[in-house]
Chains A and B, each alone.
Chain A
């Protein structure tokens, strides 16, 4: 092991400690910066796999948050490596599936499901980065092929539904417990991701409208868009009520009504 690997190993260990707190940002950041410095994420996943995660459910949950963060903000290789390690991630969901004492069993299972969904999405749609940042949109050729674009929007919406479902389970578990910072910190990547997906869907539907000029075929997408908008609006409202969250990240403010998706009348 080189000196860097030792540093990474320590960061991973500390990020996934058994204390019921948020994974310390500085350790998570070390992991993220490592993947960029080395343009590879293999070492990160290898370090994760050697952690004694089977001993404590809090550390499994923190490991999942850390993995999610690295997938989002790490070098693109993190997603590739994540796809390769799908089965290992899946196995994390089975350790506590019977449900542990502090109610982490259920949210671990749901988190694993969500991460797998995310990885499946990235496998079939290259070109998206981990947080679905809007800037990348222009580089996508999706709208030039309406069928493919339609497919992509549907898949994005499926992912958004999965995210929504997971966040509900998470919220339900938060209101009952007391030491909540650990659970709340899982909302941080979810807020970023849901907003990225939301912006993508919005602009993609708009672009498709311009491209095809067909309203009839887009109708089912519209309905689903409106309902997702409403749920996302509520999700952000719930998040805004948590002080720990609002001081850490900026929670996006959506308009009360879903915006119109037809920019201009088609020529």
Chain B
């Protein structure tokens, strides 16, 4: 596939770190959603403070991407949702601090060439994530539940 080749070339040219490459892979323009393994790996890396900032930096870029790249936005919301539930404890404060980025996506619209509104999925995801972040109780429960079911962490 030339597209994934292009992406690999861009990764090298722009000098992205391995973590950022993972994130770019997870939020790419391919029609498939990010795999669970990939998201697990990213969540695992969010415990490392250097990787954490690399992840969030890239997520920030992807979340603010153009309408044409609505898949970037949708998948970034998926990854962020996963991080908020299963990532390091830094992820939740980050998401809360930047809630306006997510909140303002609740009215995201993009019409593709055929006139189909592709924004719906972004709107739904943004709405759900906002609701989760504003519900302290539920968020804590979710994180506890996920924490118990997971294998022990590296650190």
By a beta-carbon cutoff of 8 Å, the part of chain A in contact with chain B is: 25-26, 29, 32-33, 36, 73, 75, 135, 188, 247-250
- Whether B104 sits at the interface, judged by CB under 8 Å, is yes
Flag if B64 contacts A73 (CB, 8 Å).
no
> A32 — which chain B residues lie within 8 A by C-beta?
100, 104
Q: A73 to B101, alpha carbons, bound, how many Å?
A: 10
The interface residues of chain B, by DSSP majority, are classed as helix
Query: Residue among B106, B107, B109 with the most chain A CB within 10 A?
Result: B107
Which A residue sits closest to B103, measured CB to CB?
Answer: A73
- Whether B19 sits at the interface, judged by CB under 8 Å, is no
- Whether B18 sits at the interface, judged by CB under 8 Å, is no
> B106 — which chain A residues lie within 8 A by C-beta?
249
> A26 — which chain B residues lie within 8 A by C-beta?
66-67, 108
* B residues 94-134 touching A (CB-CB < 8 Å): 100-101, 103-109, 117, 120, 123, 127, 134
Q: A73 to B126, alpha carbons, bound, how many Å?
A: 15
Flag if A36 contacts B100 (CB, 8 Å).
yes
Listed by A's residue number, 10 A-B pairs whose Cβ atoms lie within 8 Å are A26-B67, A29-B105, A32-B104, A33-B64, A36-B101, A73-B100, A73-B103, A73-B104, A188-B107, A249-B107
Which A residue sits closest to B106, measured CB to CB?
Answer: A249
Within 8 Å by CB of A29, from B104, B117, B123, B134, lies B104
Least CB distance, A144 to chain B, in whole angstroms: 23
Within 8 Å by CB of A25, from B100, B108, B120, lies B108
Which B residue sits closest to A31, measured CB to CB?
Answer: B104
Known A33-B64, A73-B104, A247-B117; further 10 A-B contacts with Cβ < 8 A? A25-B107, A25-B108, A29-B107, A29-B108, A32-B100, A33-B100, A33-B101, A36-B101, A248-B109, A248-B123
Q: A247 to B123, alpha carbons, bound, how many Å?
A: 10
Q: A36 to B101, alpha carbons, bound, how many Å?
A: 9
> Quick one: given A26-B67, A33-B64, A135-B134, are A248 and B100 in contact (CB under 8 Å)?
no
